[in-house]
Amino acid sequence: MVITNSRMVDNAVSLDSVLVIDDEDVPRELLKELLEMSGHRVLTAKSGEEGLLSFDPERQSLVITDLRMPGADGLEVLRRVREIDPLIPVVVVTGHGDLETAIRALRQGAFDLIQKPINPELLLKAARRAMEHVRLRRFEKEHTRLLESEIEARTRELAQTNDFLRGILNSSAGVSIILTDFDQNVLFWNSGAEKLFGYSAEEMIGSSITQLYVADSPNLALVERLRSMMRDKAGAVQAKVRQRAKDGRVLTISLHISPMLDATGEVRGILGLGQDVTAEEQLLEQLSESYRRIKRMQESSIFALAKLAESRDGETAFHLHRLKQYCLSLCRHLRSRQEFREVMTDRFIEDLAQSSILHDIGKVGLPDTILFNSGRFGSEEYEVMKSHTTLGGRSLEEATRETGEEGFLSMARDIAYYHHEHWDGGGYPEGRTRDNIPLPARIVAVADVYDALTSERRYKRAFSHEEACALIIEKRGKQFDPDLVDAFVSVSEEFRKIRQMPDESPVDSRSQLEMSLWDMLPPSPSRRR
């Protein structure tokens, strides 16, 4: 009889051998074939007596026995196997008429019950569970034996070398080793602690460890939390805390705390290993401050560069400050939406805020005759005006290649190139559409237009917040990304507050460049020049 079931074979676990006992040839051979196909080694016996003689707990991990057999039946096999090795599971195979006897078998310790006719999948599942059970029980037994042996050996060793270990602890001059009870009284104070804090062991043993604490320090709550964890046997923990030495110096200590257990496993004290990392912390703070200073200088340089471009067009620094805040507001809202969550990382948002102000950097390359033209552009002049996007994009692209920077500078490049592209393809310089326009450029486009609409210019009044919102919503799916317009509507009140930030600069004389950009918006009853 050949039975194939690839899933059963794949899921089988090849372990020690299985002893199969059945006085009938067909069921016995069927069990043998199923188990062997699943990777098990199988030993068979034709009677209970033969099976018990063949049983070897060192070799077999499972016994499968028929319940009804002449002579020693399944119950007898179960009883004898459990006497020899109670760890070995016994699975009983029974017919429909043996239910009462089968229940007796389960009560006497049978691992599982399989009814005839045998379901191969149920059989193999029972075999896998039984073998895993015996494996875990054996592992537990061996682990317990080894652990007990190790504890016994360590106890003898500790008893013999107590003075020696104390000497080792005291010789650890670079590490403070302090043992306290739960009332925070010092029980042990090594030479490392003496050297670190300046107190001798005579001064500290029996005294409270709290004299090392820094008053009003947040570390006090941290230490109490760590001690509570120790009391609950929560395992070792580590933290950096501030502690005061005898001479008044405040030290930063890398503190490792673990419970001290007695022979019964009860927590009797708290062991603290401390190392002075004050110098390392000071160096880290200096490095962090240097990084922050360089970051501020970088931001100031970027802002100065962006302001240089804006100043050629009569713009104030407040426009750039507001633009950054608008972009941050949009990004924070987008991060709350599932489709943007992975994109809106802290790094992305920070880079966008910094790079947004470089959107019009290409203005520095426009001729004065274009930038300060007070009249209407002709077609050629208009094309020159639009070139500020490619001028800025190419400059930042070269900077990207020079530095190898693919974060901030590459984002600034995309914004400079494409912040005048339209969702429907009606923008410039390339006439890109939809998602072919980089997301940072689409975000800046919304923020830049809102600020332009709400700013007073020589050729127009400042639109109200409501009028600006209405115009942007009108261009949803045309000039602007629909998702970004929806985000803008959700945070429009934040935009209003940002726009109301004080701006004491006089009304500037914006050039024909912005007038031409303004003219790209559709006529509206609310627009007046």
Calculate ∠ Cα 11-15-19, nearest 5°.
Answer: 110
How confident is the model over 494-507, as pLDDT tens digits? 999 998 876 544 33
| Dihedral sign of CA atoms 133, 134, 136, 137 in order | positive
Share of the chain above pLDDT 90, in %: 19
Count CB atoms within 10 A of the CB of residue 365.
16
- 381 & 498 share domain: yes
Judge whether 298 lies within some domain. no
**pLDDT tens across 81-132, in order?**
989 988 889 999 887 667 787 788 888 888 888 888 888 888 888 888 888 8
Task: Please state, as a whole number, how many other Cβ atoms lie within 10 Å of the Cβ of residue 385.
Answer: 24
Percent of the chain scoring above 70 in pLDDT: 71
For residue 92, give the nearest of 83, 368, 79, 478 by alpha carbon. 79
Of 186-195, 381-390, 493-502, 510-519, where does mean pLDDT reach its minimum?
A: 510-519
Per-residue pLDDT at 529? 34
Per-residue pLDDT at 527:
41
Contacts of 447 (CB under 8 A, 6+ apart): 323, 326, 327, 330, 356
Q: Mapped to the 3 state alphabet, what secondary structure does 79-108 carry? A: HHHHHHCCCCCEEEEECHHHHHHHHHHHHC
268 three-class SS: strand
Please report the pLDDT score of residue 398 as a whole number: 76
Residue 486 falls inside a structural domain: yes
* 157's tokens: 């060793």
Regarding whether 474 and 325 lie in a shared domain, the answer is yes
Out of 156-160, 304-308, 444-448, give the one with best mean pLDDT: 444-448
End position of a domain, from candidates 229, 257, 282 = 282
Bigger pLDDT: 228 or 133?
Answer: 133
pLDDT at 316 over 60: no
Q: How many helices (H) and strands (E) does the chain have?
A: 23, 10
CB atoms within 10 A of CB 341: 11
Q: Residue 106 sits in a domain of what CATH number?
A: 3.40.50.2300
Asked whether residue 235 is assigned to any structural domain, the reply reads: yes
Using CB atoms within 10 Å of the CB of residue 64, give its burial: 0 to 12 exposed, 13 to 18 middle, 19+ buried.
buried
Is residue 363, in this structure, part of any structural domain at all? yes
pLDDT of residue 378: 67
| Whether 76 and 221 share a structural domain | no
Q: Which of 75-79, 360-364, 525-529 has the lowest mean pLDDT?
A: 525-529
Q: Is the pTM of this model over 0.85?
A: no
Please report the pLDDT score of residue 183 as a whole number.
79
Q: Which two tokens stand for residue 278?
A: 């004050």
Other CB atoms closer than 10 Å to residue 302's CB: what's the count?
18
Average predicted confidence (pLDDT) for the chain: 77
d(CA 475, CA 426): 12
239 pLDDT higher than 80: no
Evaluate if residue 455 carries a pLDDT over 60.
Answer: yes
Do 396 and 425 contact (CB within 8 A), yes or no?
no
Residues 365 and 418 in one domain: yes
Same structural domain, 272 and 330: no
pLDDT value at 363 more than 80: no
pLDDT at 476: 93
Q: Are strands 90-94 and 112-115 parallel, antiparallel or unpaired?
A: parallel
Per the structure, the count of domains in the chain is: 3
Q: Does 404 lie in the same domain as 345?
A: yes
Summarize the confidence of residues 239-263 as an average pLDDT.
81
Of 87, 120, 139, which one is at a domain's C-terminal end? 139
Is the preceding peptide bond at 438 cis, omega within 30 degrees of 0? no
pLDDT digits over 330-339, tens only? 999 999 998 8
Based on the fold, state whether residues 203 and 117 are members of the same structural domain: no
Task: At 319, list the tokens.
Answer: 């426009």
Q: Is the distance from CB of 91 to CB of 63 less than 8 angstroms? A: yes
Asked if pLDDT for residue 223 goes beyond 70, the answer is: no
pLDDT of res. 14: 40
Q: Nearest 5 degrees, angle CA 141-CA 142-CA 144?
A: 65
> Can you read off the two tokens belonging to residue 351?
């880079």
396 lies in some domain: yes
DSSP-assigned states of every residue in 169-226 = HHH-TTSEEEEE-TT-BEEEE-HHHHHHH---HHHHBTSBGGGGBPTT-THHHHHHHH
**115 inside domain:** yes
**Residue owning tokens 């602890």:** 169
For residue 413, pLDDT beyond 80: yes
Q: Which of 94, 112, 139 lies at the terminal end of a domain, its last residue?
A: 139
Residue 152 in domain: no
Mean pLDDT to the nearest integer, 46-61 = 88
20: nearest Cα among 31, 12, 9: 31
Domain boundaries, position 400: 316-519
User: Do 49 and 72 contact (CB within 8 A), yes or no?
Assistant: yes
Q: Determine contact, residues 428/386, Cβ cutoff 8 Å.
A: yes
pLDDT at 291: 53
**Are 321 and 251 contained in the same domain?**
no
- The confidence score (pLDDT) of residue 233 equals 59
The answer to whether residues 402 and 483 belong to one domain is yes
> Could you report the per-residue pLDDT of 419-438, keeping only the tens digit for each?
999 999 999 999 999 999 99
One-letter amino acid of 491: V
Would you say 422 and 478 are in contact if contact means Cβ atoms under 8 Å apart? yes
Q: Is 234 helix (H, G, I), strand (E, B) or coil?
A: coil
3-state percent breakdown (helix, strand, coil) of the chain, nearest 5: 55, 15, 30
pLDDT band at 522 (very low <50, low <70, confident <90, very high): very low
CATH, residue 387: 1.10.3210.10
Mean pLDDT of 335-364: 85
Tokens of 213: 């604490």
Please tell me the distance from the alpha carbon of residue 37 to that of residue 8, in angstroms, as a whole number: 9
| Res 224 pLDDT > 80 | no
Domain match, 223 and 336 both: no
Which pair of structure tokens corresponds to residue 520? 């790209």
Q: Does residue 15 carry a pLDDT above 70?
A: no
Cis peptide before 429 (omega within 30 of 0): yes
Write down how long the chain is: 529
Residue 239, phi then psi, degrees to nearest 5: -160, 165
Task: Indicate whether 272 belongs to any domain.
Answer: yes
Residue 215 clears pLDDT 50, i.e. is over it: yes
The CA-atom distances, in angstroms, between 191 and each of 185, 255, 515 are 18, 16, 79
Which pLDDT band, with edges at 50, 70 and 90, does 133 fall under? confident
pLDDT of residue 506: 38
Q: Are residues 118 and 187 in the same domain?
A: no
Of the spans 83-97, 260-274, 435-449, which averages the highest pLDDT? Answer: 435-449
Taking the C-alpha atoms of residue 347 and residue 486, their distance in angstroms, rounded to an integer, is 23
CB neighbourhood size of 170 (10 A): 17
Report pLDDT for 10.
Answer: 38
Q: What is the reported pLDDT for 489? A: 94
Q: What is the rounded average pLDDT of the residues 156-162?
A: 55
pLDDT value at 199 more than 50:
yes
Return the minimum-mean-pLDDT range out of 23-32, 163-172, 409-418, 482-491: 163-172
Q: For the beta carbon of residue 355, count every other beta carbon within 10 angstroms.
A: 26
- More confident of the two residues 23 and 256: 23
Q: Any idea what the CATH number is for the domain that residue 240 is in?
A: 3.30.450.20
Expressed in angstroms, the distance from the first to the final Cα of the chain is 96
The structure tokens 């004299």 sit at 211
- Domain shared by 106 and 201, yes or no: no
The C-alpha atoms of residue 266 and residue 251 are separated, in whole angstroms, by: 32
The whole-angstrom separation of Cα 187 and Cα 158 is 18
